[in-house]
Structure 1
């Protein structure tokens, strides 16, 4: 086309009116052009191109009827500029389709999500030492793979595909659950792009970034924004611990660690026997998996009462064994009956808070029908703030950021600073001015 195509003046209605019936072209690139076909009753636009990737014969597609009256946008009729823009879209889309097909199976959101789920499940299986399904698998299967977005081709994906999917998420879904699902989808799409950069347009990265841009929702690993009724007094924490002990010894030890450290469940469940350092009066809490490049543990001082409560979980056990265990039950074949099936580590928070979890019994025994497990973390953070610990230290002990502490617990920080300021107040005005003694003058 580059050597033989003859171009004609078709960019204005006036120029087109002077042409005889026939076909006339203007080049879009070396192997693509927009064509104008003039007939007795008006003109039409169409695109003709050849793919760069397969070298096959030229292809052709209609663009739309031409506006041969003037060069102003009109409903149903296309000016040259409008037709040129649409022709470029048609050509680019067709070439992307051809390139994707030439490079192998067409990549879709479904394939990207399936690969990501397989990776996450494999990681969780390695950590657990048994067959488990990751939380990401449940979220993505429910909210992505069952949606129209799953069949969108990555090379043709637009921001509107992602924003439309986001807007269609159930209203009943909590803001934190929405953000986790978005984060999982973003990770799946970025991983697929990284593995297939040669066959995907670089603009896909920006489409993913802006289409799934985080809204102003704070999600400290699922943290519910701290409310007053979630900040417990030391006495209320004690009631919860006592209720947990009345329910089950394994649950009791779990709740003790959550209350004493303010750690997340996902951290506590990874503790080993070696993380109880009785001689140093502390627990070593594994760092959270939030963010990149994090490893190691956070030392958290605890009292002798906490160490004594954990003594049965450490006595006679190897240092590398999981610290917190629970009894697992299995159904007796052919009966509506359950029997013990050995002890296993705690794995997911739902084992505590789910329909069959012990937290519902704890709430009943503690007479706290609305209390949530995360209240123990909230209360631990506020306890440190009220003790006038530096905010940076409170953040470090709870494996989070100063910014998160300031955003979520600003009210209690302000109270603590007010108390400090009040302690610095001194009496300046004498009680009885008649007792004022004039100082000698020099």
Structure 2
């Protein structure tokens, strides 16, 4: 019986299943089909399918306009149009210069490229980070990158990642390898890319491929947890003053000031808007972290600020709209050989933009040379624990969980609880 998927109400009565409900839209059997994938919960998705010269091609088009669908979800009619257009593109690819690569099947390179394209579409900032990692450490290895997914085995992935670790252990000044923790970050992106390709091309690939990917991309063992850098209050004040000193416009100073005052991650700080600074309430609304795969954004966190911090932030909000980014910086343009001039104001971008001013700040503040900016977050969390704040409150203020606080800051929790218990003990 042909499934009915042309209205949200009809689709709502379908049973959830992994394989889509297919409806032919052109060419009869073996032609173009539109599918509707019904998840166990949430909004379904439209999927297009076509068979060309015996090669089955399938691709997810977009979210369906089910109940609770986000803006931009496709209606059934629009999905049919998009499926037909998609099939025309695939026919053109088969007939043109891309025919041989399409028939030869996906490789590590095609899996990475498709994944990067998807990541950039979801988040340009995060996509660029993933793109850089995968290009530098996966696609740069020609032998591994050209491996067909149909022949990919766990041993191929393990050999590739072992070379990354070995390069770190025997690194020279000219060629630096990756530390195990950094290898794991690359592995996370590679695993996601390979799994996405394995699902997309599952009818062309061995059924054992997901297991090979899982085994091959297991995390590299990290010998010890990275030391948490902690700064005292005097050191933090010196860092803030140095940050204002190295940037006469105050842009980097305000960024560091908010990092010290809130303990927020860089990715949260750069998304704060002018209207989030609530002077009358002496607080700032810090956007939730963009971590995980939650369908909805995390709620902002209200973090109290001192009067001194608010006063130093006032120049950033004068005569500005509430929806503008609070933290801005100057962009420069080249006007001649080795000559640059200020061009326009823009928001802070990827995290590497702070590298140079942070290095100058560390030197001027005379704190340990290896101090990283994330030390301000560690110090903020520990400051809250030492002040006797409940663990749950400290976790909430820093947009993390009590479990993470207990796991990574247990030594300071012991100190805090001992002090509290000592205050409550019997006195003579």
Query: Is 1:330–2:325 an aligned residue pair?
Result: no
**CA–CA distance in structure 2, aligned partners of residues 215 and 124 of structure 1:** 27
**CA–CA distance in structure 2, aligned partners of residues 281 and 345 of structure 1:** 24
Name the structure 1 match of 2:344. 342
Residue 373 of structure 1 and its aligned partner are, at CA, apart by: 0.7
Residue 403 of structure 1 and its aligned partner are, at CA, apart by: 2.9
CA contact (8 A) 2:180 2:221 kept: no
Superposed CA RMSD in Å reads 2.5
Alignment of 1:169-188 (within 5 A): 169=164, 170-171=167-168, 172-188=177-193
**CA–CA distance in structure 2, aligned partners of residues 313 and 404 of structure 1:** 33
**CA–CA distance in structure 2, aligned partners of residues 240 and 337 of structure 1:** 29
Q: 1:315 aligns with which of 315, 318, 326?
A: 318
Name the structure 2 match of 1:159. 154
Query: Is 1:259–2:260 an aligned residue pair?
Result: yes
Encode CA deviations 1:383-430: one digit per residue, 9 max, x unaligned. 1111222222222221223332223212111111121222222247xx
CA contact (8 A) 2:183 2:220 kept: no
Name the structure 2 match of 1:15. none
Encode CA deviations 1:10-59: one digit per residue, 9 max, x unaligned. xxxxxxxxxxxxxxxxxxxxxxxxxxxxxxxxxxxxxxxxxxx98xxxxx
Residue 218 of structure 1 and its aligned partner are, at CA, apart by: 11
* Distance verdict in 2 for CA 1:415–1:216, change over 3 Å: farther
CA contact (8 A) 2:181 2:220 kept: no
CA contact (8 A) 2:288 2:399 kept: yes
Query: Is 1:426–2:422 an aligned residue pair?
Result: no
**CA–CA distance in structure 2, aligned partners of residues 236 and 398 of structure 1:** 21
CA contact (8 A) 2:384 2:394 kept: yes
**SS in structure 2 of the partner of residue 358 of structure 1:** helix
Residue 215 of structure 1 and its aligned partner are, at CA, apart by: 4.4
Name the structure 2 match of 1:393. 393
Query: Is 1:231–2:230 an aligned residue pair?
Result: yes
* Distance verdict in 2 for CA 1:427–1:395, change over 3 Å: closer
Name the structure 2 match of 1:69. none
Name the structure 2 match of 1:63. none
Residue 110 of structure 1 and its aligned partner are, at CA, apart by: 0.6
Name the structure 2 match of 1:11. none
**SS in structure 1 of the partner of residue 203 of structure 2:** helix
**CA–CA distance in structure 1, aligned partners of residues 203 and 158 of structure 2:** 26
**CA–CA distance in structure 2, aligned partners of residues 292 and 199 of structure 1:** 28
CA contact (8 A) 1:162 1:211 kept: yes
Deviating more after overlay: 317-326 vs 173-182: 173-182
Encode CA deviations 1:115-154: one digit per residue, 9 max, x unaligned. 11222334444x7xxxx97011111011101122211111
**SS in structure 2 of the partner of residue 342 of structure 1:** strand
Q: 2:139 aligns with which of 136, 145, 155?
A: 145
Deviating more after overlay: 151-160 vs 253-262: 151-160
CA contact (8 A) 2:230 2:378 kept: yes
* Distance verdict in 2 for CA 1:206–1:299, change over 3 Å: farther
TM-score, structure 1 normalization: 0.66
Q: Give the gaps of 5 or more residues in structure 2.
A: 1-52, 55-99, 169-176
Name the structure 2 match of 1:297. 300
Residue 239 of structure 1 and its aligned partner are, at CA, apart by: 1.0
**CA–CA distance in structure 1, aligned partners of residues 101 and 162 of structure 2:** 34
Name the structure 1 match of 2:384. 384
CA contact (8 A) 2:105 2:204 kept: no
Residue 301 of structure 1 and its aligned partner are, at CA, apart by: 1.6
* Distance verdict in 2 for CA 1:218–1:412, change over 3 Å: farther
Name the structure 2 match of 1:197. 202
> Which has the greater radius of gyration?
1
TM-score, structure 2 normalization: 0.68
**CA–CA distance in structure 2, aligned partners of residues 279 and 382 of structure 1:** 28
* Distance verdict in 2 for CA 1:185–1:328, change over 3 Å: same
**SS in structure 1 of the partner of residue 405 of structure 2:** helix
CA contact (8 A) 1:285 1:300 kept: yes
Alignment of 1:41-80 (within 5 A): none
